[in-house]
Chains A and B, each alone.
Chain A
């Protein structure tokens, strides 16, 4: 099944879904060395975003978050791709400078058909998210 979406950062990648309803502040919530979520109050506390297709509503917090995403990328600890309900500049800029595909505004609510561990493809260059049938 292909679901249309809006392109924010171009690219194409695959990975396992890691999904949260909490917004993410990359500065403070995530360890740039390991990709682990270190904020005890975050739904993803203790889990690693490395190589995942990270699904979250939107970013928040300091604009330095863009550089933290770049740091994750340089350390090999970045997500493979990201899906937002509605992207904002911090995550958008971080994704672009780190060549991480980022999309938002999926034509179906991502929380209705994505769940943790699903293996999916994000083709941002062509504007779709692909989920295996069945």
Chain B
């Protein structure tokens, strides 16, 4: 791999131990994947935040680093609402460790915005063709597919290294040839809302780390694309997809149709909703906001809950910035008894584990909650989620 004089000096330790290790990580990954050089990145979104995931080892590693990041950098969701963790009944010892992790990142100049939807944040926008170093799998999918920016799915240490150096290795989805579709998916029915999560849940399992090119009957909006990509990245490892006539690269390029074609029918989508296990009578928590809710989604939820009272635990997950910008929506949702939970989500918080059965409208949550949290999970559209929430 070619290194500039400055990069070589950094690798030789002339700018200190933290930067030496950071660039060593980038160079090692570049060598493994056959990168020709390092390229500048516009922003970093760093995984490895929840104390539940990284534990004391991760905390120690981050605390041992010195210096400041060179590009705008934010974090993945943490294990709890950083301000109001008590409402989630988080153990104080966990809360303490989680705060230490956040402080260790802040010391490096990283903003403590913990979200899987960085593209909703002010001053953090990505545009077509930008090179990024993002970690969270649904954010990576959204950046690549919906925005047309370019990022690999960075691990925690590699995203942090990219943030410190301001660069990443030029391989994978940074390159044109890796962005071509490898499998075609034709959907023969109309889809709406959470149907896209169900579709993603099915396709992710079928295509693994492929690049699907979808031919759809309707035109999904950006929230629906967010659900589709998030589910595929969770049930499989899809980091980029295209939708004919919708996503930017599919509109700009005339992609050759991949040989392999998957056809999806309405009955396959229905199957995801119609599973009779777990028993709905055990339902004791409903969670919405995986990935984190947009203002439009908060508004839809606030409207649906207006004048009603929830009778179960209900979490609406979003980023703190989106919540702070829409206090009226937060007030309206919380008036019903539902909780607006920021900085975290049902997948990464240990608070989820005490519930018997969860209902979600997210294909990603459906893929992760049963295994990672040990909570049996039902899938429904947002309207059914609300109906179950307010049921006497």
Q: Which A residues fall within an 8 A CB radius of B?
A: 6-10, 32, 63-64, 66-68, 70-71, 74, 87-90, 92-93, 96-97
Contact = CB atoms under 8 A, between A and B. Distances in A.
A96 B28 contact: yes
Contact of B56 (A7, A10, A71, A92): A71
30 contacts: A6-B31, A8-B31, A9-B28, A64-B53, A64-B54, A66-B156, A66-B157, A67-B57, A67-B58, A67-B156, A71-B55, A71-B57, A74-B57, A87-B28, A88-B32, A89-B29, A89-B32, A89-B155, A92-B25, A93-B25, A93-B29, A93-B155, A93-B157, A93-B158, A96-B21, A96-B24, A96-B25, A97-B21, A97-B25, A97-B61
Interface in B26-75: 28-29, 31-32, 47-48, 53-58, 60-61
Given A9-B28, A71-B57, 20 more contacts: A6-B31, A7-B31, A32-B57, A63-B47, A63-B156, A64-B54, A70-B61, A71-B55, A74-B60, A88-B32, A89-B32, A89-B158, A90-B155, A92-B29, A92-B32, A93-B29, A93-B158, A96-B25, A96-B28, A97-B61
Interface of B: 21, 24-25, 28-29, 31-32, 47-48, 53-58, 60-61, 155-158
B29 A9 contact: no
Contacts, number: 60
Contacts of A90: 155
Interface of B: prevailing SS: helix
A96 B18 CA distance: 11
A93 B25 CA distance: 6
A8 B24 CA distance: 8
A97 B32 CA distance: 17
Contacts of A67: 48, 54-55, 57-58, 61, 156
Contacts of A66: 155-157
Contacts of B158: 89, 93
Contact of A87 (B32, B47, B157): B32
Closest 4 CB pairs between A and B? A71-B57, A67-B57, A67-B58, A63-B155
Nearest to B156: A63
Interface hub of B24, B53, B55, B57 (most chain A Cβ within 10 A): B57
Contacts of A96: 21, 24-25, 28
Nearest to B65: A97
Interface hub of B24, B47, B56 (most chain A Cβ within 10 A): B24
A84 to B, nearest CB: 10
Contacts of B157: 66, 93, 97
A114 B50 CA distance: 40
Contacts of A63: 47, 155-156
A96 B21 CA distance: 7
Contacts of B25: 92-93, 96-97
